[in-house]
A and B are shown apart, each in its own frame.
Chain A
């Protein structure tokens, strides 16, 4: 089946091997529904106009029961809905049986970003899942706080991500491109910002990406690397760089300032405070903000932390 890459009124473009099968069922149910909708609505509109009240009222003479008719409108819907049931179950099973040769990625969801671990390749990325096209990818997912849900509309897959438990889903991207990844289980203040991307690339680009290990090597200046990390590691979900307060304090003019903490003490934002706030964020929380930030221990390398500190330092008024 060639995937529909333009999409329809109801459905986004098909970008995985299973999307076409899901859409075929969607369209079947849609057409059956339209037929039934027309029967009910045109039927009642026709009766309402045809049998509108005459001047003098008469006794009702129409039948109030018909075994044949009642059997018909019981049995026909039964057949149609059970067809839909079996069809839906069949495709659902395909969604749940992971092909043996799938690439495995460990997904960790937390308030409010996605983190992807390529365990074999020892590579980690945040909010961007890079996969090769035409290769099945298995996602083994868990959450470190509340329930989240991994949803890529273009692939027609969704699976809840739970704390203290693993859930598994898989997909095979059928064409190269960049696809929206949403969190679809309500998880608080940053729920609608918990958006990532799935980038499906050619085999060669995938290998190159794995080798380049995310942000880039030693040659990039620290501030530039920090700016990259700011968006690549999802700092931007909660911290603005233009002074707007978000879920966390804005980075603009933050460095060097005096901040009152939730426990009443005052702290000067210096290198050590920023470092502590990245690795152990709830040790000292600025007053007026909730202690909701997860630790970045293990998600950032030494040079990336230095880079972020320099970047925040550069954001003066």
Chain B
């Protein structure tokens, strides 16, 4: 046993209650990590069931109602229980205080509270799944959701609770970033992951309450029939869509902004380069956060909204695409004249660049009004958001997970196995989802249990791709678990990073820093400092 591990946050203090009542951001982050990985697995099982059902037309393994529940649960679990908390609450919680030279977040008890609120929301979601899984789609559109006989109330209540967890984490991070930066760490010396988390936190705090209110209205509608959304009582079902997307579009950026932050970290470390255009990347995060509040109507171009509204939303949608494009070019330019090495985090980073570019470009098709009419609610949209959410956010999450794994656990995973896993995930992902672009633009609507024969070859191909993807994740599970028991011990700085988390032992001691560090250089000053890996 090595000394760093014995003295680390993992072993001090000992005992179950020291974990359950911990206020250490690292332990809370780790508990979040286990929880979200469980839900990623569960959501993934539903995904594979969906693809298995769609292998051939007609009934393959389940009934239409079971299929409708499966895709609803896949979406709801992946969005609310995995991808929204994945980077901020799990990796962010662990890394943020270390990145800014702090001993913890600003409100450690609130941080623990937000974890338990997440757990409460998760329990409600599981209760909902057991007592008649919801079948409305993760969007809970009215009036379908007010009429459905499945357990809509418990699932929406679960999402309502999870919202508070998200708000508390956001609030905590905003204060932490403002007040707890180490001396010398000015705003523009912050690592870009911090900027990403900051922009995310602002959206979490401002947008999530709108979703909460909307879901309360939906519950009131179901229980008391207040008639705000139900057309039979003079309500307006499209109003629900406005409310829902007013949160859920900015929520897309809650999911992707922290991922973009991670990419800015990994791409510099593994190419030994100063980031290209630091200011542009930092400000584009804030620009995205701001404009993201003004584009929700692009989910409703075919809902019968006025042509003027459609025009404005389309225009703003194109506007929000520009900062993402700028970031992508900056990452590309960062590689120029670098000294690039290809460990697992970098493979995921390059996968991100490839996949997120496709995800972003296909967004242009959907933003154009005339094309949206044809493509809306088809598999083209399904493919587009999986390229952004999975090709973007999940690849960034995996890059971050592999990058910080030695710091979090004090263990190195098997690099060859990790490369094999990464390649399987990349190939499987493209097989699964690129075929869906073609399905969609050929006219295959989404959320279909059954389909016409002309769509079968592409559906079957997509299903085979998902099996490759599943195998890739299984490989990952094996080598990551193996590393926890048999992995080699890393030094402080296995990748040669310049940010503060690499100046403390792996895993870090409970209080992070013996002495609060003084910041004298930028996060990516590879032009001034030769860093040794150890």
> Is A185 within 8 A of B65, CB to CB?
no
> Is B530 engaged at the interface, CB distance under 8 Å to the other chain?
yes
Residue of A nearest to B146 (CB): A146
> Is B166 engaged at the interface, CB distance under 8 Å to the other chain?
no
Residue of A nearest to B346 (CB): A48
Chain A residues at the B interface, C-beta cutoff of 8 Å = 7, 9-12, 21-22, 25-26, 29-30, 32-33, 36-37, 39-41, 43-44, 47-48, 51-54, 57-66, 69-70, 73-74, 77-78, 81-82, 84-85, 87-93, 95-96, 145-147, 149, 151, 153-154, 156-160, 162-165, 167, 180, 182-193, 195, 247, 290
- Among A21, A64, A188, the residue within 8 A (CB) of B68 is A188
What chain B residues lie within 8 Å of A165 (beta carbons)?
A: 231, 304
15 contacts between A and B (CB under 8 A): A10-B437, A26-B441, A40-B357, A48-B350, A51-B339, A58-B339, A64-B276, A65-B278, A87-B368, A153-B374, A156-B373, A163-B232, A186-B136, A190-B64, A193-B450
Residue of B nearest to A96 (CB): B307
- A-binding segment of B26-34, B178-186, B266-274: B266-274
> Is B275 engaged at the interface, CB distance under 8 Å to the other chain?
yes
What chain A residues lie within 8 Å of B448 (beta carbons)?
A: 191-192
Closest 8 CB pairs of A and B: A153-B443, A88-B368, A91-B370, A92-B369, A164-B231, A192-B448, A62-B337, A47-B335
Residue of A nearest to B372 (CB): A88
Residues 321-354 (chain B) with a chain A CB within 8 angstroms:
321-322, 325-326, 328-330, 332-333, 335-342, 350, 353-354
User: Given the complex of chains A and B, what is the CA–CA distance between A40 and B325 in angstroms?
Assistant: 10
Residue of B nearest to A21 (CB): B370
> Is A192 within 8 A of B443, CB to CB?
no
> Is B438 engaged at the interface, CB distance under 8 Å to the other chain?
yes
Chain B residues at the A interface, C-beta cutoff of 8 Å = 64-65, 68, 135-137, 141, 143-144, 147-149, 231-232, 234, 237-238, 271-278, 280, 301-304, 307, 310-311, 314-315, 318, 321-322, 325-326, 328-330, 332-333, 335-342, 350, 353-354, 357-358, 361-362, 364-365, 367-374, 376-378, 437-438, 441-443, 445-452, 496, 524, 526-530
- The smallest beta-carbon distance between B75 and chain A, in angstroms, is 11
- The smallest beta-carbon distance between A89 and chain B, in angstroms, is 5
> Is B377 within 8 A of A158, CB to CB?
yes
Known: A64-B275, A88-B314. A29 touches B231 (CB 8 A): no
> Is A53 within 8 A of B341, CB to CB?
yes
Count CB-based A-B contacts (< 8 Å): 266
Known: A58-B339, A73-B329, A164-B232. A95 touches B527 (CB 8 A): no
What chain A residues lie within 8 Å of B271 (beta carbons)?
A: 51
- The smallest beta-carbon distance between A80 and chain B, in angstroms, is 8
> Is B370 within 8 A of A25, CB to CB?
yes
